[in-house]
């Protein structure tokens, strides 16, 4: 039953159907082998890589690198512009990624400062406009601001990716109302990106109506990344099913699950 | 013009690569009585030149890397006896010190992360003592007040890798001369090795008989040890099907001089977690400190400005007086990383499930090259003597070579 529903419910982004609604990041992974095992356990089909931190083809002859690892596991790479503070840097980084990886997908990150790693909304909007005009499919990492999210969509972003909480904090979804509002007004996919700490955070994101969840630290820095990755796989599926199943209203008073009236007298 | 026949050098053990691992292996083999020849155009200028030299199996423990712990602990235990003959021979600059290590956290999350790790360290029987911040600062008064936790690890020590490498290189020549090998070139050949020579030149899985140098000369040896780090996979003539998955993981590292009025900056090695980023300060005998190290896979071999900034910023959180030091040197080098962060160490299976005679691989030591030198030298000495210690089979160099797995059976012990 659930298999059928998940199978007929692909995550379609930038025109491409994906079988998993979990997008993984790679930052903080303790080893290449450990990362590979975690990605496989997560079931992800799309994984983002910081172009400023990993050079394509730096594995050397006979070597193994992150990009080979993704190819081996049939995982599509989503290059990102982590570490960029200006629209200019982000655009140049995206162009380098397109050249090196032959993909026009880019997760756009334009960070305001190192302490919060929060997106700089002004530079983000500027970079989104430029990248869309250059033919990129822009996955825009943004604050949980419904106004900015809508603006990014209007500028042509392929997906908007509001944060649950700042990168790496594991604080979960700090403003569920805003996430719900962003979802309710969006006509492109909404991906909850950043702040996820544990499985229930991801399930909540899906229940709020997000189309997918992106996370890295929660898995890569967990004590057992493979087990945590598997937990997220199930959490995202569970949250998605719940969001489609029609939850019961919250009530102040109890309501017996089996009604007493008309009960056969046995 | 008459063709000159290239000179052939004959030795017992040829070690390709003169980083600290290759030198340590050569030194141990020489002490076992073998004539050794180290082949490297510029010895001890790679990761060895950069490394801080922490012998820190406890604080280096990472989740999911418990398999490596037995190896790092065994190696740390061997370092005193490994370095003792060098010190006895008059090399005072090996920098071997049994200074304890002080582990500090900067913020509440760092404290939680280090406390979680301590649970695992304690579960492995390792000694990690929690100190109050007051105790830590009484011991190291220049540690800043804004730290969240402190742990003392008595068994994490240090050496100076540059000093050890120099001492070994000198000692290799001294001992060789004592044994009647009067030409230095027989012990250290400053050329690149380009190819492994095989008993059957058409079969890369036949006995290895030596090494071809870039200048056309041949080194004939009973055993060849491939210990040239990231360059190992570029050697021609490696056994067919052997995959050595190495990748460069760059690190920036700084060396600073402590001005007189701040000496000693610290007596212990300081390792810290600052907002989730690791940083360390290793005090040296000569009133310098080594401050490291970043981990970069950005493909850039030069020193990263952002990396230097990060190191100085984070070190000042732990020890604010770092700002007062003289920045003497910034260095970046690549560590040879493997997919599981563990070394590629041992023999390679050949036909009929027997290991290929004459060949030992010793590379992929990643973050732990200096620490693991002592055990790598010991294990290699055993292999050279025909002994395979099954405890270290998990680090066999063929473990990423599916083509070789099916033919591999347990090796026989051949004296």
Q: Give B-chain residues touching A223 at CB under 8 angstroms.
A: 63-64, 116, 120
Asked whether residue A3 carries a pLDDT value surpassing 90, the answer given is no
**Are B245 and A63 within 8 A, CB to CB?**
yes
**Are B298 and A223 within 8 A, CB to CB?**
no
Q: Residue A80: how many CA atoms within 13 Å on its side-chain side? A: 25
Q: Give A-chain residues touching B294 at CB under 8 angstroms.
A: none
Separation CA A93–CA A107 (nearest Å): 11
Q: How far is B414 from chain A (nearest CA, A)?
A: 32
Say what the pLDDT of residue B411 is: 52
Separation CA A44–CA A212 (nearest Å): 11
Q: Which residues form the domain of B142?
A: 101-153+248-337
Handedness of CA B71, B74, B79, B82 (dihedral sign): negative
Q: Does B223 touch chain A (CB under 8 A)?
A: no
Per-residue pLDDT tens digits of chain B, which is 415 residues long: 555 666 899 999 999 999 999 999 999 999 999 999 999 999 999 999 999 999 999 999 988 888 899 999 999 999 999 999 999 999 988 999 998 999 999 999 999 999 999 999 999 999 999 999 999 999 999 999 889 999 999 999 999 999 999 999 999 999 999 998 767 678 999 999 999 999 999 999 999 999 999 999 999 999 999 999 999 999 999 999 999 999 999 999 999 999 999 999 999 999 999 999 999 999 998 999 999 999 999 889 999 999 999 999 999 999 999 999 999 999 999 999 999 999 999 999 998 889 999 999 999 999 999 999 999 999 999 999 999 999 999 999 999 999 887 544 555 554 4
Q: Give A-chain residues touching B64 at CB under 8 angstroms.
A: 30-31, 34, 223-225
Say what the pLDDT of residue B180 is: 85
**Are A55 and B297 within 8 A, CB to CB?**
yes
Q: How far is A74 from chain B (nearest CA, A)?
A: 18
Q: How many domains would you assign to chain B?
A: 2
Residue-wise pLDDT for A177-230, tens only, equals: 999 999 999 999 999 999 999 999 999 999 999 999 999 999 999 999 999 999
B326 and B368, same domain (yes or no): no
Handedness of CA B320, B321, B326, B328 (dihedral sign): negative
> The tokens of A35 are what?
């990362």
Task: Answer with the one of B317, B337, B357 that is the final residue of a domain.
Answer: B337
Separation CA B143–CA B133 (nearest Å): 9
Residue-wise pLDDT for A137-190, tens only, equals: 999 999 999 999 999 999 999 999 999 999 999 999 999 999 999 999 999 999
Q: Does B123 touch chain A (CB under 8 A)?
A: no
Asked whether the beta carbons of B357 and B349 are under 8 A apart, the reply is no
Task: Give the mean pLDDT of chain A.
Answer: 90
Residue-wise pLDDT for B281-296, tens only, equals: 999 989 999 999 999 9
A250 occurs within a structural domain: no
Q: Give B-chain residues touching A60 at CB under 8 angstroms.
A: 230, 233-234, 246-248
A85 occurs within a structural domain: yes
B80 occurs within a structural domain: no
**Are B340 and A58 within 8 A, CB to CB?**
no
A266 occurs within a structural domain: no
Pairing, β B326-337 against β B157-158: unpaired
B202 and B239, same domain (yes or no): yes
Q: Is A168 annotated as a binding residue?
A: yes
B226 and B305, same domain (yes or no): no
Q: Which residues form the domain of A234?
A: 2-6+19-242
Q: Enumerate residues 6+ apart whose C-beta is below 8 A from A53.
A: A27, A82, A83, B296, B297, B298
B209 and B355, same domain (yes or no): yes
Task: Answer with the one of B280, B305, B337 that is the final residue of a domain.
Answer: B337
Q: How many domains would you assign to chain A?
A: 1
Q: What is the CATH number of the domain that holds A93?
A: 3.20.20.70
**Burial class for A88, CB neighbours closer than 10 Å (0-12, 13-18, 19+):** middle
Q: Does B276 touch chain A (CB under 8 A)?
A: yes
Q: Does B246 touch chain A (CB under 8 A)?
A: yes
B172 and B302, same domain (yes or no): no
Q: Could you count the other beta carbons within 10 Å of the beta carbon of residue A86? A: 14
Separation CA A135–CA B361 (nearest Å): 48
B346 and B397, same domain (yes or no): yes
Question: Least CB-CB distance to B230: which of A36, A52, A60?
Answer: A60
Q: Which residue's structure tokens are 């950069």?
A: B50
Question: Least CB-CB distance to B298: which of A53, A62, A168?
Answer: A53
Say what the pLDDT of residue A5 is: 55
ipTM: 0.73
B148 and B269, same domain (yes or no): yes
B113 and B232, same domain (yes or no): no
Taking residues A11-31, what's their average pLDDT? Answer: 91
B142 occurs within a structural domain: yes
A14 occurs within a structural domain: no
Separation CA B79–CA B73 (nearest Å): 10
Q: Which of residues 201-220 of B touch A (CB under 8 A)?
A: none
What is the set of active-site residues of A? Answer: 107
A195 occurs within a structural domain: yes
Alpha helices in B268-401, H assignment, sequence order: 305-318, 369-384
B85 occurs within a structural domain: no
B21 and B148, same domain (yes or no): no
A258 occurs within a structural domain: no
Say what the pLDDT of residue B99 is: 85
Q: What is the CATH number of the domain that holds B261?
A: 3.30.9.10
Asked whether residue A7 carries a pLDDT value surpassing 80, the answer given is no
B206 and B347, same domain (yes or no): yes
Task: Answer with the one of B337, B357, B382 that is the final residue of a domain.
Answer: B337
B240 and B345, same domain (yes or no): yes
Separation CA A146–CA A176 (nearest Å): 12
B138 and B252, same domain (yes or no): yes
Question: Least CB-CB distance to A55: which of B64, B234, B298?
Answer: B298
B83 occurs within a structural domain: no
- Mutation to test the B interface, candidates A32, A61, A114, most B Cβ within 10 Å: A32
A124 occurs within a structural domain: yes
Separation CA B53–CA A131 (nearest Å): 46
B61 occurs within a structural domain: no
Q: What is the CATH number of the domain that holds B30?
A: 3.50.50.60
Residue B364: closest C-alpha in chain A:
A63
A261 occurs within a structural domain: no
Asked whether residue A2 carries a pLDDT value surpassing 50, the answer given is no
Q: Give A-chain residues touching B230 at CB under 8 angstroms.
A: 60
Q: Give A-chain residues touching B246 at CB under 8 angstroms.
A: 59-60, 62-63
Q: Is A36 annotated as a binding residue?
A: no
Q: Does B66 touch chain A (CB under 8 A)?
A: no
């Amino acid at each position: 039953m659930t298999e059928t529903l998940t199978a007929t419910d692909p995550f379609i982004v930038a025109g491409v159907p994906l079988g998993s609604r979990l997008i993984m990041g790679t930052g903080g992974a303790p080893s290449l082998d450990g990362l590979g095992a975690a990605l496989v356990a997560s079931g992800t089909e799309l994984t983002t890589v910081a172009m400023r931190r990993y050079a394509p083809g730096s594995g050397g002859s006979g070597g193994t690198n992150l990009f080979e690892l993704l190819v081996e596991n049939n995982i599509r790479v989503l290059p990102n512009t982590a570490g960029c503070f200006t629209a200019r840097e982000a655009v140049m980084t995206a162009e380098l990624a397109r050249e090196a990886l032959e993909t026009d997908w880019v997760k756009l990150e334009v960070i305001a400062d190192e302490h919060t790693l929060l997106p700089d909304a002004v530079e983000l909007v500027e970079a989104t406009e430029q990248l869309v005009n250059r033919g990129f499919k822009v996955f825009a990492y943004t604050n949980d601001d419904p106004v900015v999210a809508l603006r990014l969509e209007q500028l042509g972003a392929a997906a908007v990716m509001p944060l649950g909480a700042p990168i790496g904090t594991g604080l979960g979804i700090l403003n569920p109302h805003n996430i719900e509002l962003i979802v309710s007004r969006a006509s492109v996919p909404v991906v909850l990106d950043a702040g996820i700490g544990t499985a229930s955070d991801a399930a909540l994101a899906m229940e709020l109506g997000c189309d997918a969840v992106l996370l890295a630290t929660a898995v890569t820095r967990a004590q057992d990344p493979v087990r945590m990755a598997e937990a997220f796989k199930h959490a995202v599926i569970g949250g998605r099913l719940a969001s489609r199943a029609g939850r019961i209203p919250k009530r102040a008073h109890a309501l017996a699950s089996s009604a007493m009236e008309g009960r056969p007298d046995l | 013009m008459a063709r000159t026949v290239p000179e052939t050098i004959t030795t017992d053990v040829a070690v390709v690569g003169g980083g600290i691992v290759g030198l340590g292996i050569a030194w141990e083999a020489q002490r076992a009585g073998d004539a050794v020849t180290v082949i490297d155009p510029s010895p001890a200028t790679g990761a060895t030149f950069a490394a801080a030299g922490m012998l820190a199996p406890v604080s280096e423990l990472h989740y999911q890397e418990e398999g490596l712990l037995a190896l790092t602990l065994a190696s740390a235990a061997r370092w005193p006896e490994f370095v003792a003959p060098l010190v006895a021979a008059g090399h005072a600059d090996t920098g071997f010190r049994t200074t304890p290590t002080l582990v500090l956290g900067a913020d509440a999350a760092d404290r939680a992360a280090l406390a979680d790790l301590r649970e695992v360290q304690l579960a492995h029987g390792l000694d990690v003592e929690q100190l109050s911040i007051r105790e830590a600062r009484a011991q190291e008064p220049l540690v800043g007040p804004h730290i969240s936790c402190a742990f003392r690890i008595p068994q994490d020590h240090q050496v100076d890798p540059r000093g050890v490498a120099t001492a070994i290189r000198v000692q290799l020549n001294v001992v060789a001369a004592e044994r009647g090998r009067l030409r230095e070139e027989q012990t250290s050949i400053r050329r690149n090795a380009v190819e492994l020579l095989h008993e059957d030149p058409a079969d890369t899985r036949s006995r290895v008989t030596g090494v071809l140098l870039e200048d056309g000369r041949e080194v004939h040896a009973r055993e060849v040890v491939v210990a040239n780090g990231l360059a190992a996979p570029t050697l021609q003539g490696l056994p067919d099907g052997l995959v050595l998955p190495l990748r460069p993981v760059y690190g920036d590292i700084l060396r600073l001089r402590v001005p007189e009025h701040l000496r000693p900056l610290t007596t212990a090695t300081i390792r810290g977690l600052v907002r989730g980023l690791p940083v360390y300060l290793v005090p040296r005998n000569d009133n310098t400190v080594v401050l490291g190290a970043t981990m970069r896979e950005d493909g850039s071999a030069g020193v990263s400005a952002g990396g230097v900034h990060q190191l100085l910023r984070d070190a000042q959180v732990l020890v604010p007086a770092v700002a007062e030091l003289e920045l003497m040197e910034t260095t970046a080098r690549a560590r040879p990383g493997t997919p599981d962060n563990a070394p590629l160490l041992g023999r390679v299976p050949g036909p009929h499930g027997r290991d290929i005679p004459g060949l030992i691989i010793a590379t992929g030591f990643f973050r732990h090259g200096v620490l693991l030198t002592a055990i790598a030298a010991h294990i290699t000495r055993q292999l050279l003597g025909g002994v395979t210690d099954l405890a270290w089979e998990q680090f066999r160099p063929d473990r990423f070579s599916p083509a070789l797995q099916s033919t591999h059976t347990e090796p026989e012990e051949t004296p």
